[in-house]
Structure 1
Amino acid sequence: MFRGTIIAQIIAVLVGIYLAKLYGEEAYGYLGFFISITSIASIIGTLQLDNCIITSNTKEESTNWFNFILIIIPIIIIFLFILLHLFSKLIIFERLNSIIFLLSLVGSVVITYNLTHQSLFTFQKKFSILSNSKIFAAIFNVLFQYILYAFYNILGLIIGLLISQLVLLSYNFYINNKHIKSINFKEVKKGFKSNNTLIKFLLPSNIINSFANNLMPILILTFFGAEKAGVYFFSIKILATPLFLISSSISQVYFRESSELVVKKNDELFSITKKIVISNLIIMLSFLLIINTLGIYILNLYFENQWKDLNSFILILSFLILAKSSFNPISSLIIVLNKNLIGLMFNCYLFLINVVAIYYGTLYNNILYTVIILSLFGGIGYYIMLYYFFNHLKYDKINV
């Protein structure tokens, strides 16, 4: 799992820097919009029932959830985009053509399908397949994005990403073909009753969390233009690479193992969680020190006069990324410990920070105000969540 993730990220970062110089800020601004929209849609598209695939007690139960979710994904996402289209003239989409809207719709369905396949692989503990799929997806992604620049110098990044996800989806369906079966709706109905907190608390919580984490590229595109949105998105991409590496390598495994430990050996859960958090912070702090010194110097030489404000964005956002790295890899504790209401409250706070940040940025017509507020108060929120769960694991009796 770790091998595949690190190779995929190395490919994505090294080639991504070259593609950033090739395409420029505007193209990355629209890519950020596409990824933000598909990320939000993927949360809503499964109703968070993909967690039931991982936490199922039997293979049959997991497979039944898998097939049910495959059916509801296109229905929910198409309905979501119909609503989006109806309100589009009131928000920002009047600036975007119908091609980007259509690509976002298709991309949302494809990416959500792939995430659902990943949940099934996680239940089956087929981490080698997950590892290899990350490598293949990264290679195909940068390959198609490079090729398509000659034809689509603005949308090539989006189309290349979409094609790579379609290739990955074909691979996933090939591997999981034997698990495509008829749905036992009685078991689904029974599962809804036993997992009702997923719909009541986790779904709205993760929707708000997804808005909080993905809304900023959309808002910056709206109020400051595609170029500023591109610089913001590229800064986050550089800084979050090791965070994504850690989360992808640890979070799914930690989710599965913590679900077992909390029942069988809950006394070990605190020590394991503490080790993971400390290791993550050491790795991220080392990376952030390097990227804000030597890394910035190299990027400035490479980009020459391109990507203005990149230095400032990377420095300011480093605090937020460090805070995220302390909690994100263990965030599955919200589900494992049935603290979905706490997660909902936290995500409401993050969403509010986004709104306040963009408000003051537009009020003073200075995007740096937006980035500072987002990073400072968002980072503080993540540290408070870490402190809460450490206290809970150490002192409180765990009830499941």
Structure 2
Amino acid sequence: MHAVTRYLSGNRFTRSNFVRNVALVMTGTAGAQALNMAFTPIITRLYGPEAFGVLGTFVAMLTIATPLAALNYPMAIVLPKRDMDAAALVKLSLFIALITSLVALILLFFFGHIIAKLFNLQSIEAYVLLMPLGMLLATTMALANEWVARKKLFKIKAQVTVMQALWLNLAKVGLGLFLPVAAVLIVLTVIANATYALMMYFKVKAVSQLPALSSIGQATKPLAAIAKNHSDFAYYRTPQIFLNGVSQSLPVLMLAAFFGPAAAGFYSLGRTILGIPSTLLGQSVSSVFYPRFNESVQAGENSYSLLLKATLSLAVLGIVPFGLIILMGPWLFTLAFGDQWGDAGQYARWLALWTFFAFVNRPCIAAIPVLALQGYFLAFETVGLLMRGAALLVGFLVFNDPLIAVALFSCVNVLLYLMLAIATIISAKLHRVQEAV
């Protein structure tokens, strides 16, 4: 550990505002994850694997649908040089999200039953009409996060993250004492995004960093032109994130369809726990790295070195938490969450393998829009979806074993994330060479 500390402290990269901002975001994220860890052993004993499986299936469907809500225009908010153009992107995102959510509501109202039956997902049929609302509220959360990243209000992000985690966990436990059913978990999950966005709104407003409504009309270009300037997010990033959502959601959906909600619940808990180190540091790095990397490219700095050091630092820091799950997953899960969750620990051992590589890739993924690699990333996700789907089908249909399916899925993910990291870092180096010329 001392060697890691010396390595990090010895780099100018870690003495910059970048690392201070990462540490600030981590403070809030760490507090939120500490609350999640403290409450999870109680929540798992209240609700059980089936309720978690229904929640996981609903979240998986919502993950697939959410990228379509605002066509990922919120991600572009960090890029414009002028706040008035960024404010116009906020308006554009909300307008698109309202339309797509309304369309989704109409489709699910008439065809929700058919969709649930077609994919053998009757367990979530009663909740499908909540998905359009979830899509819209997820957009408000994304807008809040991107505006805060643009203005570098990371202290506010930390505060709101802790506040949301506290009320959400208290609500799950309080309601679970009287009504420990999946519906409670699903409704709370949907409205959590709205409360996060509202808390962020009032915090940002208090420091006078909100986009003025009048500034939207003063954008340097018409709204349609601004949408066109950032159309790569709609044309490339939206299908890419959609395909990634399908890829990441496939295990839950297929486990629920082939083996029932309990199997999906084991997988969902494993992903939730493994998401803690990824969220704690990986998401914190992404939130700060995206605007910082954009600035470095615009200023002609050594963006390749910045990307490489961020990636290597996460690799060093991720070894211990993910390694512990690989070595002792079943024992840790049984001890922490109860005897009925031992199978979740078996899933988690394999999930930890590929989640480590996803964790390490956070800076590379954040660098993709800045390096204009949206088209490549879309092709990558298309191939990745086919490979992941094939791995799961082999596990389910050939071996008829959910654990083997998860193991094959994890190994394919390791390969894909390695390929993505190498390609992005090479692209950053070539971009640096072209700038020098």
Using structure 1 for the length normalisation, give the TM-score.
Answer: 0.92
Distance across 2 between alignment mates of 1:6 and 1:18: 19
Is it true that 1:49 corresponds to 2:81 in the alignment? no
Deviations 1:357-376 (A, max 9, x none): 33223313211221011100
1:118 aligns with 2:149: no
In 2, distance between residues paired with 1:116 and 1:286? 33
The residue identity in structure 1 corresponding to 2:88 is N
The reply on whether 1:153 has 2:188 as its aligned counterpart is: no
Is the 2:364–2:425 contact (alpha carbons within 8 Å) kept by the matching residues of 1?
A: no
1:196 aligns with 2:216: no
Cα distance in structure 1, aligned partners of 2:57 and 2:158? 27
Matched, 1:144 2:171: yes
Structure 1 window deviating more from structure 2 (20-29 vs 295-304): it is 295-304
Contact 2:331-2:345 within 8 A present in 1 as well: no
Cα distance in 1, alignment partners of residues 105 and 390 from structure 2: 26
1:371 to 406, 416, 427: 406
Q: How does 1:389-400 map to 2 (within 5 A)?
A: 389-395=424-430, 397=432
Correspondence for 2:211: 179
Query: How far apart, in 2, do the equivalents of 1:46 and 1:40 lie?
Result: 13
* 1:98 Cα offset (Å): 5.0
Task: State which of 56, 65, 86 in structure 1 corresponds to 2:89.
Answer: 65
1:214 corresponds to: 249
Matches of 1:368 and 1:90, distance apart in 2:
25
| 1:105-133 deviation per Cα after TM superposition (whole angstroms, max 9, x unaligned) | 32222122111121111111111111111
Query: Map of 1:316-395 to 2, 5 A cutoff?
Result: 316-363=350-397, 364-395=399-430
Distance (Å, rounded) in 2 between the aligned partners of 1:55 and 1:209? 23
- Alignment coverage as a number of residue pairs: 399
Is residue 231 of structure 1 aligned with residue 266 of structure 2?
yes
Secondary structure of 1:336's aligned partner? coil
Q: 1:330 to 1:10 in 2, by over 3 A?
A: farther
Partner residue of 1:205? 240
User: In the alignment, is residue 4 of structure 1 matched against residue 28 of structure 2?
Assistant: yes
TM normalised by structure 2 equals: 0.84
Compared CA separation, residues 399 and 219, structure 1 to 2 (3 A): farther
* Counterpart-to-counterpart distance in 2, 1:94 and 1:326: 33
Shift of residue 45, structure 1, vs aligned partner: 0.8
Which residue of the partner structure matches residue 41 of structure 2?
17
The alpha carbon displacement at 1:180 in A equals 6.2
Stretch of structure 1 that moved more, 97-106 or 222-231 = 97-106
CA distance in 2, matches of 1:388, 1:340: 13
1:337, CA displacement in angstroms? 0.3
The residue correspondences of 1:261-300 to structure 2 (distance < 5 A) are 261-267=296-302, 269-293=303-327, 296-300=330-334
